[in-house]
Copies of this chain bind each other. A is one copy, B any other.
Amino acid sequence: MSTTSEVTAMSDVPQGREVGVAILGHGTVGSEVRRLMEANAEAFSHRIGGPLALRGVAVSNPTKHSRTLPKELLFDDAMELIAREDVDIVVEVIGGIEYPRKLVLAALNAGKSVVTANKALVAAHADELADAAEAAGVDLYFEAAVAAAIPVVGMLRRSLAGDQIERISGIVNGTTNFILDAMDETGASYDDMLAEATRLGYAEADPTADVEGHDAASKAAIMASLAFHTRVKASDVYCEGITKITAQDIEAAKNAGYTIKLLAICERIRSAAGEDSVSARVHPTLVRRDHPLASVNGSYNAVFVEAEAAGRLMFYGNGAGGNPTASAVLGDLVGAARNKVHGGRAPGESTYANLPLADFGQVPTRYHIDMHVRDRVGVLAEVAAVCAKNGISLRTVRQEERDDAARLILLTHEASEESLDATVTELATLDDVLTVDTVIRMAE
């Protein structure tokens, strides 16, 4: 009798080949990946066409994990685990660059597909990793590297594969969005809201990578590479963080109907001669309050895409955290495992377009310039003349009286970074200009 019921039970779950998985790292993400792999084993088995089998978890200190994992699954030598014959897919969730790079390359070279959540690694070494995956005929997946479970990579690699992307504007760092949103809401200073973010666990003890924009720059590099079929590395991305944003900047933006967001902007720039180049940049940006990105609050992420045929699309969600990152890793793992069972490969790196990178000085943007000037007749004419001379035309000018000085806020039409730099330098030399306080770029 028991034989019959066993046969029935077994025939319910696909009898395809077992897919061996190694997880490198057992921190917040790695432990969630392992837990969910176990909890959803049957569902994944159906979705893949065969069961996932965890071969081991590589950790630097096995003793630390001996209570959550059986001893035979714990490996202190990641290379030994990767090299096992029964490992088909390696999941890298360690972080850092050099060490995981060595491991991922070893895995790819040994014919294992790789799923990684490591944006810094992908943004620095996509070319080398892609070449290794291509040579071995295996998959390299990295959905979790950009905005966790918001499926930005899948959308760019697959869903929009039949379209031409013009621009991506993303809020892809939760820490800085939390700080800017809190400054906007409370009128408090950057330092106070950074302290608040740290207290609430939204900022790390050393927040440099977030607040200086490096984390967002890695994601910008990955998005630009996918969107424009061109190799863009983190070091190619112009990057400016939020540490200089003041409460006064936020207030001035508010008064003009804007909010300040740290945007990762990836853009196709078409020259007058019809030649395309790619600009990837991260900087504080004024966003109109009625733009969908303006209402992305707290630590949420959102990616706004403009494409030729699809028009304007936005993707919104949790862009970080153990669970959302694990969701993205597991989605990739199911995809990579399906390919191991059924054959076929995910779209690989695509860099055929190989567009030149735009010279940042030539990128056209609109600017918001905030300055203090002497309160006397003729100042505005002087300022306007300097702008005109440098090819910057003004869209609106607002003047506020302040004791003996006046505050002048200029919003410009589109101009190049070069013209702007020249303008600001020249404005600062005018006798009647006391200080040029802030220059912030504007979206669209």
Task: Count chain B CB atoms within 10 A of each CB in A310, A332, A343 and give the residue with the most.
Answer: A310
Given known contacts A163-B149, A327-B162, is B307 in contact with A312 (CB within 8 Å)?
Answer: no
Task: Give a binary string over A313-356; 1 marks a CB under 8 Å from any B CB, 0 the rest.
Answer: 11111100101101111111111001100111101001011000
Q: Which residue of B lies closest to A313 (CB)?
A: B317
* A339, B350: Cβ atoms closer than 8 Å: no
Docked complex: A100-159 residues within 8 A CB-CB of B: 143, 148-151, 154-155, 158-159
A36 CB–B CB distance under 8 Å: yes
In the assembly, what is the distance between CA of A326 and CA of B275, in Å?
26
* Of the residues B40, B316, B328, B334, contact of A292 by C-beta under 8 Å: B316
Q: Which residue of B lies closest to A352 (CB)?
A: B46
CB-CB < 8 A to A350: which residues of B? 46-47
A201 CB–B CB distance under 8 Å: no
Q: Which residue of B lies closest to A346 (CB)?
A: B344
* A229, B46: Cβ atoms closer than 8 Å: yes
In the assembly, what is the distance between CA of A184 and CA of B337, in Å?
48
* B161, A331: Cβ atoms closer than 8 Å: yes
* Of the residues B44, B143, B163, B333, contact of A330 by C-beta under 8 Å: B163
In the assembly, what is the distance between CA of A314 and CA of B147, in Å?
13
A32 CB–B CB distance under 8 Å: yes
A302 → chain B closest CB, angstroms: 8
A43 CB–B CB distance under 8 Å: yes
A77 → chain B closest CB, angstroms: 27
CB-CB < 8 A to A47: which residues of B? 161, 229, 347, 350, 352
A164 CB–B CB distance under 8 Å: yes
* A32, B309: Cβ atoms closer than 8 Å: yes
Q: Which residue of B lies closest to A330 (CB)?
A: B162
Given known contacts A47-B350, A353-B43, is B315 in contact with A162 (CB within 8 Å)?
Answer: no
Docked complex: A30-50 residues within 8 A CB-CB of B: 32, 36, 40, 43-44, 46-47
A311 CB–B CB distance under 8 Å: yes
* B309, A36: Cβ atoms closer than 8 Å: yes
CB-CB < 8 A to A309: which residues of B? 32, 36, 149, 323-324, 326-327, 330
Q: Which residue of B lies closest to A163 (CB)?
A: B327
Copies per assembly: 2
A160 CB–B CB distance under 8 Å: yes
* B311, A313: Cβ atoms closer than 8 Å: no
In the assembly, what is the distance between CA of A127 and CA of B301, in Å?
37
A208 CB–B CB distance under 8 Å: no
A130 → chain B closest CB, angstroms: 15
CB-CB < 8 A to A160: which residues of B? 149, 151, 327, 331
CB-CB < 8 A to A333: which residues of B? 162
A216 → chain B closest CB, angstroms: 20
A248 CB–B CB distance under 8 Å: no
A399 CB–B CB distance under 8 Å: no
Given known contacts A311-B324, A330-B163, is B150 in contact with A158 (CB within 8 Å)?
Answer: no
A269 → chain B closest CB, angstroms: 17
Apart from the given pairs A149-B311, A151-B160, 19 other A-B contacts in the complex at a CB distance below 8 Å: A36-B162, A36-B308, A36-B309, A47-B347, A47-B352, A149-B307, A151-B154, A151-B159, A162-B334, A163-B331, A309-B323, A310-B317, A310-B323, A311-B324, A312-B317, A313-B317, A314-B314, A338-B347, A343-B343
In the A-B complex, the 6 residue pairs with the smallest Cβ-Cβ separation, listed nearest first, are A344-B344, A162-B330, A151-B159, A149-B310, A309-B327, A46-B352
Q: Give 21 pairs: A residue, B residue, CB < 8 Å, sorted on A.
A: A36-B308, A46-B352, A148-B310, A149-B310, A151-B155, A151-B158, A154-B159, A160-B327, A160-B331, A162-B331, A162-B332, A295-B295, A307-B327, A308-B323, A310-B317, A310-B327, A311-B321, A312-B317, A314-B315, A315-B315, A342-B344
